[in-house]
Structure 1
Amino acid sequence: MNIQRFIAPTSREAMARARRQIGDSAVILSTRQTAEGFEVMAAAEESLASIAQAAQPGMAAAAPAAPAARKEVFANTQTSVANDTEAMAMSTLSFQDYVRERMLRKRRESLGGAAAEPEAPVAKAMPQPAMRMADPEPIVVPVQRYNEPPQISAPRAQPIRTRDSGFADSQPPTRFATQDDQRMAVELNALKDMIEERFNTLAWLGSSKNNPIQSSLMHKLIRAGYSPAMARALLERLPVEAGAGEALRWLMDAITRNLRVAGNGAGLADEGGVVALVGATGVGKTTTAAKLAAQCVKQYGAGSVGLVTLDSYRVSGYEQLRSFGRMLGVVAHLAHDRAALKDMLGLLAGKRLVIIDTAGLGQRDQRVQDMLDVLEMPTLKKVLVLNAGSQGDTIDETLSAFKADKLHGVVLSKVDEAVKLGPAIDALVRHHVTLRGVANGQRVPEDWQQPDAGALVKMSMGSANKSAFDPANTDMGFYFAQSGGRNANLGGLHV
């Protein structure tokens, strides 16, 4: 029998080499992982068939002679398995005995008695086939074809070994995703988004340069204080056939339609109820409360208004509200906590309009949520007072901190002090809040107006003063480098 040895980096390549050398009739005798690579012992099916036919008539006589044959084969214990296999022509039965003998020897060596124990007792322990079947843990390694997977059976669940090492699986082990793989996937997705955004920005800027009207409007919006996200969202919807004048009118009309304002007869004094004015320090909450109270007193009398303050932090905060109340003939009350506020609202339940003035808290103050919890009542309307002259980022943070989605509306104060109204209008449009009033001075009650969306947008776009903060045409690329705007929230823009 011609047994050949094949070594390759993987089991698949070793079996492929055996098939190319021997042919489709190659029979795999053993496989193992060695230091040189993956080893496959194979032989042609024809040579095994001739030996099997010769071994069948004398199988009974071959069994008693097996111990003597094993003793002769394994006389030199230092010979490697590969040399033993190439030196002897084994039948199927003798190969099984050979495997069993090697496993028994390995077991003795692990117990520490392999060096002193002779080979003869092993041969005597298995003189008959029946005795061999009684040995512990018999393992049968059937002969398989090249294109069939190895089939190994054992009476018990145990690590199966052939020859000198454990049976190596021809398939690679399953590899599970690690934390590094997940981090790499996140970074690749971020890189992909960044590349797509850059290409889209470059393409959009290229089209803007080719379209002078669009480029001019973009520059005008940025100079007015509108965000790049808002400017791009509007200009992407600009009609292509519009001229310069029509394009500007369309742009202002689009902003006007998206700015939510209270209609005529829907002001805070007209609606009535319980209104709590919240906001940062110094935005004019107390002055706004006095203006609202003056409007209600003028229309419905002094008995229709109730004034309550929660401002116990600011020095003379309560005294300022009391001074406005005395001017209007209205008594101002002080509430220290939620329970006192509930009692006070119960006493003022017959009033048409109850105005609650609160302490000024910056948008990053940790007490903002505590104050909002105090004001969390079913019939109470929270109105945020915003300084129109604040930066766009500050207005954004303030709207988020005071929960813009739960506000009844916004009062835009200090409009007369604001150089640019674009940031405030931009933030109101993106956060989808309703503008309930406009305060443009300190006089009570004269400096108060009902909001007019068209007038405010026109005022925001009409600034012609040059400023060091105004960008040049060549700077537009920097403004739109991050034009996506994760918090732009312009999906519902109406044009």
Structure 2
Amino acid sequence: MNIQRFHASTSREALAKARMAFGDGTLILSNRPTAQGVEVLATAESLLSALDATAASPPPPPPAPPAPPAPPRPGRPERNPVAQDTEQLAMSTLSFQDYVRERMLRRRHEAALQSPAPAPPATPTPSGQRREPAPTPIPAASGPMPAPAFEPMPASAVAHPNPPGVAQQLHAMQALIEDRLDTLAWLGQARQHPIQSQLMLKLIRAAYSPTLARALLERMPPDLSAAASVRWLLQALAHNLRTDLAAPPLYEQGGIYALLGATGVGKTTTIAKLAALCARSHGADSVGLITMDGYRPGAHEQLRSHGRMLGIVAHLAHDRAALHDLLGLFCGKKLVLIDTPGLPPRDPRKRELTDLRDLPQVNRLLVLNAGCHGDTLDEMLGAYESGAGAGPPQALQAILSKLDEAAKPGPAIDALIRHRVLLRGLTQGQRVPEDWQRADAQQLVSASMRAPAPSAFDPKASELNFFFSPTPAHGVWHH
């Protein structure tokens, strides 16, 4: 059955395109807004009739015992379920109905096995043999399923001695069908557009998330050549990566900044680089250094050592009141930098740092290790985004550190794009202040998409479908 996506500026135009393709019997599977307007996933209404007919028809007799599997032919690889589902895009409406019917019956059979009922006595056949009773069918819900999407059926609509368990099975079945339809549609488009498949593989190998990769490729114009598609992709990534390249650099702009982040990401060294750059242009008296790191033994001595080399005195703030007094003392400084203790996102002491937004004119500057895993960066950004105090909301700013140690900066760029964080600069070494760099989105994205050395973590083209297939452990994957 043909499943298609239709894009338009309004819902009316998208529905009109769907009706032109499928006629009056058009079934809308999903309808969601996009950056360009509206996206509609549609197919023929015969799917709905097929599902209703399948639910109302009695189950087939018990299948005969399966024959022993034939030995695999040498040199012919086994087919995986996702590859088989991809081929279903080209099948007819009747074969797709068989595909859905088989899955529904399998779910019903599993539900019946989980809640067995007392079996009636076996009746003898005319030949004297005993015939086992067929499994009791699960009555289907009355009336057609709601449109346009596969909504969960209420438990009251299922007539069964154990409604809650059966309702959960039906909900899981409907969620599986909805997700598989969407997956088939996406894989079908990728099969028809090999350029998109290659770009998807390139993004995944560069360690970008499937979520961002799919969102980008769904918005890429379909009529671009291979070279134009690559240029469009790089421009889209750079356009969505927010940087301060068009504004004065951070040390020239000035202000009060509290550097936050986990232990070992390079907060103190980054402060020394910013202080040195500001002192070089405006003198040592224009910089104020404060450390709040009283947890690690000798942590404040590291900042004081950097300050002595620059001719700047670093002060220790033991508590919030001392920090407030020091900020009043440094009100005439061009740049005030606050070093904070390194705390993981789940540490309860993090609340003390997120409350810094209550202080006037204090900007939070999150230092992120460019070589961290994407989930670690997501957790860190999410913790400091949600860790708000009583003050007004502030846009989160960040610095990428240790760029020279990152084999693939893709996860860091991906997290910054999805969390809409302003990137203020890069560090890629321990030299003060030489290893500071302005954040150039074009250069950073181009460097992340360069062909890296072969890695054991890189997927193959044949494994790309698994990024968009449901996993047994977590159910269906929603995007």
Give the alignment's TM-score, normalised by structure 2.
Answer: 0.61
Please say if 1:421 is aligned against 2:409: yes
Conservation of the 8 A alpha-carbon contact between 2:292 and 2:317: yes
The one-letter amino acid paired with 1:469 is F
Deviation at 1:363, TM superposition (A): 1.6
Deviation at 1:213, TM superposition (A): 1.0
Q: Secondary structure at the match of 1:402?
A: helix
> After alignment, is 394-403 or 359-368 more displaced?
359-368
Q: Which residue of 1 aligns with 2:443?
A: 455
Superposition map of 1:140-151 within 5 A: none
Distance (whole Å) between structure 2 residues aligned to residue 321 and residue 300 of structure 1 = 20
Q: Which residue of 2 aligns with 1:196?
A: 178
Distance (whole Å) between structure 1 residues aligned to residue 439 and residue 184 of structure 2 = 39
Please say if 1:304 is aligned against 2:289: no
Instruction: Classify 1:214/1:186 alpha carbon distance in 2 versus 1 (closer, same or farther; 3 Å).
Output: same
Distance (whole Å) between structure 2 residues aligned to residue 181 and residue 303 of structure 1 = 75
Structure 1 gap ranges (5+):
1-174, 489-495
Superposition map of 1:74-153 within 5 A: none
**Structure (1 or 2) with the larger CA radius of gyration:** 1
Q: Secondary structure at the match of 2:433?
A: coil
Q: Which residue of 2 aligns with 1:289?
A: 271
Deviation string, structure 1 residues 378-426 (Cα, Å, up to 9, x no partner): 3100000000000000000000111177444100000111001110111
Q: Secondary structure at the match of 2:293?
A: coil
From 177, 182, 187, give the equivalent of 1:205. Answer: 187
Q: Which residue of 2 aligns with 1:240?
A: 222
From 442, 447, 468, give the equivalent of 1:480. Answer: 468
Distance (whole Å) between structure 2 residues aligned to residue 375 and residue 238 of structure 1 = 39
Q: Which residue of 2 aligns with 1:107?
A: none
From 327, 332, 337, give the equivalent of 1:345. Answer: 327
Superposition map of 1:65-76 within 5 A: none
Q: Secondary structure at the match of 1:410?
A: strand
Conservation of the 8 A alpha-carbon contact between 1:415 and 1:438: yes
Instruction: Classify 1:258/1:485 alpha carbon distance in 2 versus 1 (closer, same or farther; 3 Å).
Output: farther
Q: Secondary structure at the match of 1:260?
A: coil
From 250, 256, 262, give the equivalent of 1:274. Answer: 256
From 315, 330, 345, give the equivalent of 1:333. Answer: 315
Distance (whole Å) between structure 2 residues aligned to residue 309 and residue 187 of structure 1 = 57
From 351, 366, 384, give the equivalent of 1:384. Answer: 366
Conservation of the 8 A alpha-carbon contact between 1:277 and 1:385: yes
Number of matched residues? 311
Please say if 1:255 is aligned against 2:255: no
Q: Secondary structure at the match of 1:383?
A: strand
Q: Secondary structure at the match of 1:311?
A: coil
Conservation of the 8 A alpha-carbon contact between 2:398 and 2:423: yes
Conservation of the 8 A alpha-carbon contact between 2:469 and 2:477: no
Please say if 1:464 is aligned against 2:452: yes
Q: Which residue of 2 aligns with 1:354?
A: 336
Distance (whole Å) between structure 2 residues aligned to residue 295 and residue 485 of structure 1 = 47
Superposition map of 1:155-170 within 5 A: none
Please say if 1:227 is aligned against 2:215: no
Deviation string, structure 1 residues 179-231 (Cα, Å, up to 9, x no partner): x9899878755653443122211221122123221111110000000000111
Deviation string, structure 1 residues 306-356 (Cα, Å, up to 9, x no partner): 000000011221000001001111000000111110011111111111100
Instruction: Classify 1:194/1:378 alpha carbon distance in 2 versus 1 (closer, same or farther; 3 Å).
Output: farther
Distance (whole Å) between structure 1 residues aligned to residue 305 and residue 187 of structure 2 = 57
Distance (whole Å) between structure 2 residues aligned to residue 482 and residue 293 of structure 1 = 50
Please say if 1:438 is aligned against 2:426: yes
Instruction: Classify 1:250/1:414 alpha carbon distance in 2 versus 1 (closer, same or farther; 3 Å).
Output: same
For the aligned residue pairs, the C-alpha RMSD in angstroms reads 2.4
Superposition map of 1:11-22 within 5 A: none
Instruction: Classify 1:192/1:406 alpha carbon distance in 2 versus 1 (closer, same or farther; 3 Å).
Output: farther
Distance (whole Å) between structure 2 residues aligned to residue 298 and residue 181 of structure 1 = 74
Conservation of the 8 A alpha-carbon contact between 2:234 and 2:446: yes
Deviation string, structure 1 residues 420-439 (Cα, Å, up to 9, x no partner): 11101111000011000111
Conservation of the 8 A alpha-carbon contact between 1:224 and 1:420: yes
Please say if 1:395 is aligned against 2:377: yes
Q: Secondary structure at the match of 2:290?
A: strand
Distance (whole Å) between structure 1 residues aligned to residue 477 and residue 262 of structure 2 = 25
Deviation string, structure 1 residues 12-55 (Cα, Å, up to 9, x no partner): xxxxxxxxxxxxxxxxxxxxxxxxxxxxxxxxxxxxxxxxxxxx
Distance (whole Å) between structure 1 residues aligned to residue 470 and residue 275 of structure 2 = 45
Distance (whole Å) between structure 1 residues aligned to residue 446 and residue 170 of structure 2 = 45
Instruction: Classify 1:349/1:219 alpha carbon distance in 2 versus 1 (closer, same or farther; 3 Å).
Output: same
Superposition map of 1:44-55 within 5 A: none
The one-letter amino acid paired with 1:387 is N
Q: Secondary structure at the match of 1:386?
A: strand
Deviation at 1:482, TM superposition (A): 5.3
Q: Secondary structure at the match of 2:341?
A: coil
Deviation at 1:235, TM superposition (A): 1.1
Q: Which residue of 1 aligns with 2:354?
A: 372
Q: Secondary structure at the match of 2:275?
A: helix
The one-letter amino acid paired with 2:286 is S
Please say if 1:317 is aligned against 2:305: no
Q: Secondary structure at the match of 1:470?
A: coil
Structure 2 gap ranges (5+):
1-155, 157-161, 387-392
The one-letter amino acid paired with 1:412 is L
Q: Secondary structure at the match of 2:358?
A: coil
Distance (whole Å) between structure 1 residues aligned to residue 401 and residue 272 of structure 2 = 13
Give the alignment's TM-score, normalised by structure 1.
Answer: 0.59
Conservation of the 8 A alpha-carbon contact between 2:385 and 2:396: no
Distance (whole Å) between structure 2 residues aligned to residue 440 and residue 331 of structure 1 = 26
Conservation of the 8 A alpha-carbon contact between 1:318 and 1:334: yes
Distance (whole Å) between structure 2 residues aligned to residue 292 and residue 255 of structure 1 = 27
Instruction: Classify 1:301/1:198 alpha carbon distance in 2 versus 1 (closer, same or farther; 3 Å).
Output: same
